[in-house]
Amino acid sequence: MTILGCMSQIITNDRRTITGWAFFDWANSAYALVITAAIFPAYFVQITDDIIHVGGYQVTNSGLYAFCVTISYIIILLLTPILSGIADYTGRRKFFLRFFTLLGSIACMSLFFFKGMSTIWIGVIGFILATIGFSGGLVFYNSYLPQIATEDQYDRVSAKGFAFGYIGSVLLLIVNLVIIKNPSYIGLDNLANGDSGWLFGTDPTILATTLAFLMVGVWWIVFAQITFRRMPDDVLIPFEQGVVSKGLDELRSVWQVMKPQKNIKRFLLSYFFYSAGVNTVLYLAATFAEKELSFATTDLILLILILQIVAIGGAYLFAYVSRIRGNKLSLMVMLVIWIIICVVSYFVYDKLSFYLIAGLVGLVMGGIQALSRSSYSKLIRSDTEDLASYYSFYDVLQKLAIVFGTFSFGLVEQIAGGMRQSILLLAVFFIIGMLILIGVRIDGDERETFAT
């Protein structure tokens, strides 16, 4: 039994359904922007010691942050294949989407209590759990795409999801920026200096910053309800003995189908390497700007706002290019730009130049994420069953790439004593991904060839 047969019918290309699906990007992208990119990384580095003792080892605070990302994705990497297989077998796609959303939003709210070294355990555990919640839900969210849209609409619908995410998260980040720069606007200075200092702390700016983390959690869980209401309800098959092994059997059966499909495997290998570069940049750009270029929190928020606003146009720009010239050419152009970004960043020492680089990152960030998702969808037959398991391979590779990328970045920084050498390492990832992508075919009229 597969999830395709266990769900109520979805009307493809239905505007209301697609908008509801896109609102999940609106909801959870606040985490991606505020927690992983704009505020939390720099906040973590600013309020913790430069050198932190972990067991018998010493690690830099930025290195510890990178390793926290690695740990998060190792955990979800182990869980997702099993859960997606179970979702396919028992029809619990929306169930797991709800579960990971709840986990991530509550973990984000817990970061409100992370005020410094005395509460670093809250920062570490809360961040890891929030990352697990964010990443864990994506495989189930992404697997709806081939069911809510026909293949000719994949690029447009995928871009719409990312655009919703950028717009929603930018709106919330602007609110966060106003509050952080002016905590007195909503009385945070009085709370910090009053009798409730044990709860709110004594620094209004820190209070305003941690309030941003609380707002992300609320934003995430509230707007996700739109998606939950508009996606079809699960038609559940009761759990029974051996359901985990049956879930793994679902994945093994999908792998057997995928084994002869060299084109899909080649695309996934290419995606692994360039995704390692893309996601490591997104997770660690803020720590690089704070440590290497002395960016303040407000500078970082402005930097990320530039990146996000440009990314909205970038997602649609490269969707248009792909419609005219094909997905592969669009991806190749973006990978060249990513390589240029990494090489130039190594030589940048002033803020203005880094702002310009952020604009380039924004241009290709939205496009490469949206087109990677839609390109993979084009390589899968529209009538394929076990979609969650198919997307699990895609999602697992992304998570493995994040583990590989962030660990490599942190390790090179630890050995070299600086982050610039790590930036050059990312350029190597993009080059490898581009070379493998040369041998991939993504033309829609060749889909039947891929499926044989």
pLDDT digits (tens, 9 = 90+) for 284-302: 777 788 777 777 777 877 7
Q: 159-215 pLDDT, tens per residue?
A: 788 778 878 888 998 898 888 888 877 777 766 565 555 455 567 888 888 999 999
- According to the CATH classification, is domain 12-233+246-450 in 1.10.260.30? no
Where are the alpha helices (H) located in 48-119, listed in sequence order? 61-90, 93-110
How deeply is 70 buried, as exposed, middle or buried, from its count of CB atoms within 10 A (0-12, 13-18, 19+)?
buried
Measured distance CA(319)–CA(327) in Å, rounded:
8
Nearest to 426 by CA among 440, 414, 410: 410
Nearest to 93 by CA among 348, 388, 318: 388
Taking the domains of the chain in order of start, what are their residue ranges? 12-233+246-450
pLDDT at 451: 36
b/e burial code for range 383-392 (CB count within 10 A of at least 16 → b): eebbbbbbbb
Q: What angle do CA 360, 366, 369 make, to 5 degrees?
A: 125
Q: Is the pLDDT of residue 5 over 50?
A: no
Measured distance CA(47)–CA(425) in Å, rounded:
28
Structure tokens at 306: 């530039």
Q: Is the pLDDT of residue 90 over 80?
A: no
C-alpha separations of 447 from 151, 371, 384, 400 in Å: 11, 17, 12, 27
Q: Is the pLDDT of residue 24 over 90?
A: yes
What is the model's pTM? 0.73
Split at pLDDT 50, 70, 90, the class of 3 is: very low
Nearest to 300 by CA among 318, 288, 314, 310: 288
